Structure 1
């Protein structure tokens, strides 16, 4: 029987590596584990963590195709980060110039959540624990 332990990482391709790196490290505060430039692929690979948990691989590639639509395109719908206080998390990134949707309540759990977008319009969610 297959036993999956946990999500190991999420891979994201950014259209502008410097802008995406700034967003995920300076705006969201993810910690850099390692950064590698792969000459043969003309690509950066940036490994990011929350606390001690390796969670995101941020890639750059020359001329990646755009995401077809948001958020109901086929494929990854959004990336959700758990936070202790949605209002505080929303205020913190709004103070850094990120536009955030109004806070909503999950009809099934009663928990607060909100959405915003990364530099490539990837939908990101803050979900209150």
Structure 2
């Protein structure tokens, strides 16, 4: 197998409108397409991360919650690279998003922080 990159990360949300607003207005991801799938009573929103990777945002009525804390097995979080960590944290705080203290990765020396999406999914900003 020869993997050439990451294509997308899929997120199932409990409140589609709140998550759509969070990922587009607060995180600034660009909408590629938005489709309502009547047979599933479900929305699918494709969002572009600069560089070509995507976030797929889904709504599925009655989807069970997934534990995030304490750390559960499975996919842990989604991480975005940023150039100006301090500026991005300040922007999130201005928009009412609670952000953890900035930490330093002891292996790489790079700075990072975490916050949560509307469903409590951990989101990381990692300074490039």
Give ranges in structure 2 of 5+ residues lacking alignment: none
Q: Which residue of 1 aligns with 2:96?
A: 97
- How many residue pairs get aligned? The number is 128
Query: When the two structures are superposed, what TM-score results if normalisation uses the length of structure 2?
Result: 0.96
Displacement of 1:54 in angstroms is 3.8
Contact kept, 8 Å, 2:40 with 2:60, in 1: the verdict is yes
Partner of 1:55: 54
**Rounded Cα–Cα distance in structure 1 between residues aligned with 2:32 and 2:96:** 25
Measured in 1, the distance between the counterparts of 2:22 and 2:94 equals 13
Question: In structure 1, the residue corresponding to 2:61 is in which secondary structure?
Answer: coil
Matches within 5 A, 1:61-80: 61-70=60-69, 72-80=71-79
**Structure 1 vs Structure 2 CA RMSD:** 1.0
Return 5+ residue gaps in structure 1 as ranges. none
Contact 2:68 2:120 in 1 (8 A): no
